[in-house]
Amino acid sequence: MSTDKKQALYEHVMALRRVFLVSLAAVGILFVLFFYLFCDQLVDFVLYPVRSRGISVISTAVSEALMTQLKVCLIAAVVAGMPVIIQQIWSFVSPALYPHEKKLFAGLFFAALLLFLTGVVFCYLYVFPLAINLFWAAADTVATAMWSVKEYFNFVLSFVLPFGLMFELPVVIFMLAKRGKVNYAKLAGWRKYVVLIIAVAAAILTPPDVVSQCMLALPMYLLYEVATQLARFVKPSQPEEEEA
């Protein structure tokens, strides 16, 4: 490896190191602030769906409550620190992009972020309360329900995060269409197989109840239809553009 290549590689590694350290510092500072100033409010926000229904959660281990508080504050710090993280990632990636690539990358990046947040908010506000009602009613008919705060928090994460990830479907299809891997005709022809895949994914990614699975599968199908129509207007990249 030549000296110039070694120097370029070293500069890239140092730039990536700076991105990591600045992002980590931002999240760490926010985590400390949230833990000491807003921990109770954040935990109350997470527990609101059950407390508003008169459901109490319990702690079954010595460190369970504290660990839950730490997790809640850490996730809140990552979310609040996202502008810094995005800015750092952009500062690392943008110098290697052409002007038209910068516009496309920025658009896709923020579209993906917006869709992820939309999926999480949609799930937390509309789907998650339905699941809570279903599980509580089912438990109440069998035994006295006592939900652990740790298990409840893990359940919240396992429930809302798949919605955010699955809402990225239009961005994924756009990228595939841009590279010429898919087009409108192919997507329309795959519809019946996609319905099956979405149903299986919803069954795997959500808790085992029909309500939450349908509430994930239906938006996914609608997003697929939107992305299919979007593919009509996507112009695939030319070979010389991909090479560049």
- In 3D space, the residue among 67, 83, 94, 74 whose CA is nearest the CA of residue 22 turns out to be 83
Residue-averaged pLDDT of the chain:
81
* Residue 207: predicted pLDDT: 61
Q: Are 123 and 159 in contact (CB under 8 A)?
A: yes
* Residue 33: predicted pLDDT: 95
Amino acid of residue 26: A
Amino acid of residue 179: R
Q: Are 89 and 18 in contact (CB under 8 A)?
A: no
* Residue 26: predicted pLDDT: 92
Which one of 3-7, 11-15, 210-214 scores highest in mean pLDDT? 11-15
For residues 142 and 111, the model is more confident at 111
Beta pairing, strands 147-148 & 57-58: parallel
Instruction: Check whether 35 has a pLDDT greater than 90.
Output: yes
Instruction: Check whether 34 has a pLDDT greater than 90.
Output: yes
Q: Which of 42-46, 69-73, 131-135 has the lowest mean pLDDT?
A: 131-135
Give me the mean pLDDT over the 124-136 stretch. 79
Instruction: Check whether 107 has a pLDDT greater than 70.
Output: yes
Query: Positive or negative CA dihedral for 80, 84, 87, 91?
Result: negative
* Residue 74: predicted pLDDT: 92
pTM over 0.85: no
pLDDT band at 1 (very low <50, low <70, confident <90, very high): low
- % of the chain exceeding 70 in pLDDT: 87
Segment (H or E) for 58: strand 57-58
Q: Which of 62-76, 82-96, 106-120, 194-208 has the lowest mean pLDDT?
A: 194-208
pLDDT tens profile 177-186:
877 777 888 8
- In 3D space, the residue among 208, 170, 116 whose CA is nearest the CA of residue 124 turns out to be 116
Q: Are 177 and 163 in contact (CB under 8 A)?
A: no
* Residue 143: predicted pLDDT: 67
